[in-house]
Amino acid sequence: MPIQYDQKEQVFMLQTPKTSYVLGVYEGKYLLHLYYGKRIERYAAMQHRLPTHGINGFSATDVEESKYSTNVLPMEFPCYGSADYRSPAFHAEYEDGSAVTKLFYQGYHIESGKKPLCGLPATYAENELEAETLEITLKDAVTGLVVVLSYTVFNSFDAIAKSVRVQNGGDQTINIKSLLSSTSYLFDKDYEFVHLAGAWARERHIQKQPLQNSTILIDSKRVSSSHMHSPFMALARPYTTETQGDVYGCSLIYSGNFIARAETSELDTVRLSIGINPFGFGWCLNPGEEFQAPEAVLVYAANGFGEMSRTYHKLYRTRLCRGKFRDAERPVLINNWEATYFDFNEEKILDIAKSAKKLGMELLVLDDGWFGKRDSDNCSLGDWVTDRRKLPDGIDGLAKKVTALGMQFGLWFEPECISEDSDLYRAHPDWAIQIPGRQPNRSRYQLILDMGREDVRDYLYERMTAILDSANIEYVKWDMNRHISDVYSAVLPKERQGEASHRYMLGLYDLLERLVSRYPDLLLEGCSGGGGRFDLGMLYYSPQIWCSDDTDAVERLSVQYGTSFCYPISAVGSHVSAVPNHQTGRITPVETRGTVAMAGSFGYELDLNLLSDGEKEEVKEQIKTFKKYYNLTHEGEYYRLTNPMENRLYAAWEFVSQDQSEALVHGMQILAQPSGPSIHIPVRGLKADAMYEVNGELVRSGRALMHGGLNFPRQTGDFKAVEFYLKEVK
């Protein structure tokens, strides 16, 4: 039983294979977070978690009998307005203008399995035996507000999935201003705040900073998870490495405005919170209504960042991703974007498809520019009708010709956006997010459709299904090329405008759900100006996401390194592109570009006719290699062997099969060095006592390879690829 309740002590123990999460009901009223960390078998009295000073300095006490102020207690679901002055998980205003909520424990319920979250993406259990869920109910006696906290414990993952449901059980409208998905605690502040920061084409670079008596937060106010921050944070002991040290990971399954925060109190306890960003948020909850907050997933690892990442990878790859391509092998694709941009016609596309087929590629993706009269990025978004000037036989005609070559066919859409120069905008200007009487802010010349509107979603569903039904389309790239400003919805009354951003997300998820249900075999790839919406919300619908518009192999080392802290390798859309690279101007060998792109869902994005014969041969071999190692790279355990943010001389990473009988080490000599010292890369995850053949030759024990390391070849020239294949010899 992964969830146990000790009636006498009023303590809930949530047990994963290697971790425990413990909650207690203090004085029969307050739900406290007592422990999270390495698995413990018993948790007796909760007294030792209560601070020495019950009421320190200027704290207030909200209950006469209580020795403790809530300001010093590890409140599992802290509310604004009472004696707890730290940042709350919940803040609401009531009809009399007051904003105090006091939630007391009511009861609990444990059941097998895991229910879906209404309208929101979430992890799932495939059957009732895989997981157990605890629901704890809290209630505010004055207003009738009921809060249900939900905790799912998976039998085979060291992860806890948390979410919150709020029910208005009273008779007045409740104006919710903030509702976060998870609050948890560290009981001292000797930790570093680790997060993924970036920019367009430089996404998810790892950053670390020590905690002090202050608040560190990352967030998004862009109605998109964004290139700038990712809905993920980790708190790690200083000097934590890939293999050692305590790490607490916290991620949110949501694609909109989020906040992830570590707040250190005057008593040095740290409150960790994650959820929808309260900034600009509001929700009017009428009597009898419910609000479901997104799911947060917590992972504790005792053995460093690597262990945390591998838990996230496996959970999200197998119990967040869905559909045929969760498990089925993904096709090697060729995308025409960097080969042609908007300048193509049917002949050019077929030419690319023919060359791609000869080299072993399997799927032709037609990117932006096939609809309306889109010869540049300043028009036609919303007009999802084939441009017959470029494609005289339509999408169906092109798809038939591509299929006849023995290739699959895929298509780009940017459903959420609208150009002012479009028939759609001329017919429905009010469908675009903008404030009447104000000039809207444009980005890439475009506006955004209000996905919170049913009529907008119905239009998009009708247009997309008309095209998808008309041709054999096996892949869709779902792009979104700007962030949202001028947040407003023409269909919401004044008092509900704070709901617009979250309603946008709910609408987007609703449309995606309708499409994936109708086309369960369709491979969807998420995208947002590269990796601007590389998040777990989108991963629920699209098992791969374009990781970055920066395809330069050297820059990708850092992007893919940071991305791998939380997101599985199979999710990372990664392509070999042309040199000089279109984003950085750097020239790297095609072999190296291939090696880096293989740490992801692999493809090509360049004019194949510009490759030399030698490079074409190289590409053919690369595709064979990728397919040979597909199971290792997509289903194996991933190990980061070096940190490219710190080591600018060489990089290495490794995939190990689940049974540890095979491993693939890939790497790059970044910069060449004369008289450079020898480099030994200790590999990881092998069976210590087994013998492994390295590149079909040298046989060494797992222990020797893990301690002595592999000899990294020094070569002349920059950006040289390195590969070692290790196979157990029996």
Residue 617 and residue 608 in contact, taking contact as beta carbons nearer than 8 Å: no
* Torsion of the alpha carbons at 179, 181, 187 and 192, rounded to the nearest 10: -100
Closest to ligand GLA by CB, 242 or 414: 414
Q: Show the site string, 458-497: x = touches ligand GLA by CB under 6 A, - = not.
A: ---------------------x-x----------------
Burial classification of residue 673, based on how many CB atoms lie within 10 Å of its CB (0-12 exposed, 13-18 middle, 19 or more buried): middle
Q: What is the C-alpha to C-alpha distance for residues 107 and 104, in angstroms, rounded to an integer?
A: 10
| Binding residue for ligand GLA, selected from 527, 598, 606, 652, defined by CB under 6 A | 527
Mark out the alpha helices in 320-414 (DSSP H runs). 324-327, 337-340, 346-359, 394-404
Instruction: Please give the DSSP secondary-structure letter assigned to residue 386.
Output: B
Cα distances from 692 to residues 420, 708, 723, in angstroms, run 61, 14, 15
Residues found in the chain: 730
Residue 247: both structure tokens together = 């790490």
Instruction: Please give the DSSP secondary-structure letter assigned to residue 279.
Output: T
Closest to ligand GLA by CB, 3 or 596: 596
Q: Show the site string, 334-363: x = touches ligand GLA by CB under 6 A, - = not.
A: ---x--------------------------
Instruction: Please give the DSSP secondary-structure letter assigned to residue 224.
Output: S
**Is residue 226 close enough to count as binding ligand GLA by CB under 6 A?**
no
Integer-rounded Cα radius of gyration of the chain = 26
| Binding residue for ligand GLA, selected from 549, 552, 555, 662, defined by CB under 6 A | 549
- CA 481 to the chain's CA centroid: 18
Q: What's the min distance (Å) between Cβ of 361 and ligand GLA?
A: 17
**Is residue 638 close enough to count as binding ligand GLA by CB under 6 A?**
no
| Active-site choice (62, 246, 549, 552) | 549
Q: What is the C-alpha to C-alpha distance for residues 78 and 81, in angstroms, rounded to an integer?
A: 10
Q: What's the min distance (Å) between Cβ of 437 and ligand GLA?
A: 31
| Binding residue for ligand GLA, selected from 84, 140, 367, 550, defined by CB under 6 A | 367
Closest to ligand GLA by CB, 15 or 528: 528
Pairing of strands 11-15, 3-6: antiparallel
Q: What's the min distance (Å) between Cβ of 345 and ligand GLA?
A: 17
**Is residue 526 close enough to count as binding ligand GLA by CB under 6 A?**
no
- Among this protein's residues, is 84 annotated catalytic? no
Q: What is the C-alpha to C-alpha distance for residues 697 and 563, in angstroms, rounded to an integer?
A: 34
Residue range at the interface with ligand GLA (CB under 6 A); choices 110-118, 176-184, 525-533, 716-724: 525-533
Closest to ligand GLA by CB, 547 or 632: 547
Q: What's the min distance (Å) between Cβ of 546 and ligand GLA?
A: 5
Residue partners of 303: CB distance under 8 A and separation at least 6 = 243, 244, 245
Residue 642: both structure tokens together = 């070096």
Q: What's the min distance (Å) between Cβ of 413 and ligand GLA?
A: 10
| Active-site choice (62, 140, 479, 552) | 479
**Is residue 368 close enough to count as binding ligand GLA by CB under 6 A?**
yes
**Is residue 84 close enough to count as binding ligand GLA by CB under 6 A?**
no
**Is residue 410 close enough to count as binding ligand GLA by CB under 6 A?**
no
Helix or strand (DSSP H, E) at 110:
strand 104-112
Q: What's the min distance (Å) between Cβ of 514 and ligand GLA?
A: 23
- Among this protein's residues, is 549 annotated catalytic? yes
SS (H, E, C) 71-87: CCCCECCCECCCCCCCC
| Binding residue for ligand GLA, selected from 12, 77, 412, 719, defined by CB under 6 A | 412
Identify residues 528-547 at the interface with ligand GLA (CB under 6 A).
529-530, 546
Closest residue to ligand GLA, Cβ-based?
368
Within 467-539, strands assigned E span 475-478, 523-526
**Is residue 618 close enough to count as binding ligand GLA by CB under 6 A?**
no
**Is residue 644 close enough to count as binding ligand GLA by CB under 6 A?**
no
Q: Which amino acid is at 384?
A: W
Q: What is the C-alpha to C-alpha distance for residues 645 and 654, in angstroms, rounded to an integer?
A: 17
**Is residue 269 close enough to count as binding ligand GLA by CB under 6 A?**
no
Residue range at the interface with ligand GLA (CB under 6 A); choices 102-110, 504-512, 526-534, 551-559: 526-534
CA-wise closest residue to 598 among 530, 685, 664: 664
Residues near ligand GLA (CB under 6 A)? 337, 367-368, 412, 479, 481, 527, 529-530, 546, 549
Q: Which residues are designated catalytic?
A: 479, 549
